[in-house]
Amino acid sequence: MDFRLTAEQESLKREFEEFFAREESRAPEGWSGGLFAIFESDENWAYHRSVAERLAEKGWLSLPWPKEYGGKEHSYIEQLIFNEVKAYHRVPGVDMWGPQIVAPSILEHGSEELKKKWLPRIARGEINWCQGWSEPNAGSDLASLTTKAVEDGDDFVINGQKIWTTGAHRADHIFFLARTDQNAPKHRGITYFVSEIDKPGITIRPLLYMHKKREYNEVFFDNFRVPKKNVVGQVNQGWYVTMAGINFERSMIGTVAELKRGLEELVEFCKKTVHHGRPLGEATLVRQKLAQMAIELEATKQWAYYVSWLQSKGQNVPAESSAAKWFSSELTVRFANIAIEIMGLYGTLKEGSKWARLQGRYEDLCQASLGITIAGGTTETMKNIIAWMGLKLPR
């Protein structure tokens, strides 16, 4: 693998940096970036939507897609560069699920009718999605889902419950899994659906984080009807569609870029904050911790580039992408704890306190980061995938 970018990629990166620097400059007051910020107020949501419109005008919501469906046919590496620059500037505008999970799943497994109906709308940033995968009592074992889909004429009738549904209260569309064959083996008999969410038979309730912010929801299906033409892939083969989407999700360069920005700000804090008569940054232990974070960030970044490089070669990389998810989510926890430790009592104060520093970012991240090691697949699940699919160890 050659880690250097081509001249064309360097030029594209500069174009991304100029765009996102401008968009960051017009963020609402108090904007801190991340999923919580997108969902927590109408003003922030409007900012997210306005950036999405500008990205759609440039065709940047569909960079790697075929041109016939509104894409630009850029490589996975160029998509990664886009994600990296966007995350560094903490700019929203990209629906986490539409362009990044639903669209790749439809491109790989969807019918021509599905592609023509849904892909242009995702590329234009017109619709927002939420993910109906996790269920109560299933833990990380996604295939243990019990939500049922029963054929009825031209529709499937859905009954069941989803949990930890990020952004369902803001979304207008949902993609989800339901069991269509009760007698099939665990990973078979599952079907992948896409649907509008504002229809009879669906109820959304808030599920607050421990710091009272709303990102997650519970979603209840009560005789919710979905047309059969909204099935992605084949009936009873939804598990394989799901795996394609999961693999696309996990280069994790966005997490690395966000932490890199955070580290730069933390270094500046240490230079300017005086403790016992000298800057924090001169303390040996502080310097060691900052250096350790810089090393781990660079290693995780190189791994993210490696995953995207493999994908650009057409390889299916479940073990490598799972390793990226594992490293980056655990690194986020360590980073949050070290930032709190270095900042001392300043780091434990919430945003809004006159004594809080760096927008209370690490008090917030310290609480939120534990969930990152669970959401999208737990660390334990990632290790299992690496063992089974990467190292070929027995189950």
Residues in the chain: 395
Three-state secondary-structure class, residue 212:
coil
Name the DSSP class of 27. P
Which residues does the annotation mark as catalytic?
249
Whole-angstrom distance, CA of residue 56 vs CA of residue 317: 29
pLDDT string in tens for the chain (395-residue length): 667 899 999 999 999 999 999 999 999 998 988 878 898 889 999 999 999 999 999 999 999 899 999 899 998 899 999 999 999 999 999 998 899 889 989 998 999 999 999 999 999 999 999 999 889 988 667 788 999 999 999 999 999 999 989 999 999 999 999 999 998 888 889 999 999 999 999 999 998 876 677 778 999 999 999 999 999 999 999 988 887 666 554 678 899 999 999 999 999 999 999 988 999 999 999 999 999 999 999 999 999 999 988 888 888 888 999 999 999 999 999 999 999 999 998 889 888 888 888 888 888 888 888 888 987 788 998 999 999 999 999 88
How many CB atoms sit inside 10 A of residue 174's CB? Answer: 27
Cβ atoms of 340 and 383 within 8 Å: the answer is: no
In the numeric block, which tokens belong to residue 163? 């949990």
CB 335 within 8 A of CB 259: yes
Q: Per DSSP, what are the bridge partners of residue 287?
A: none
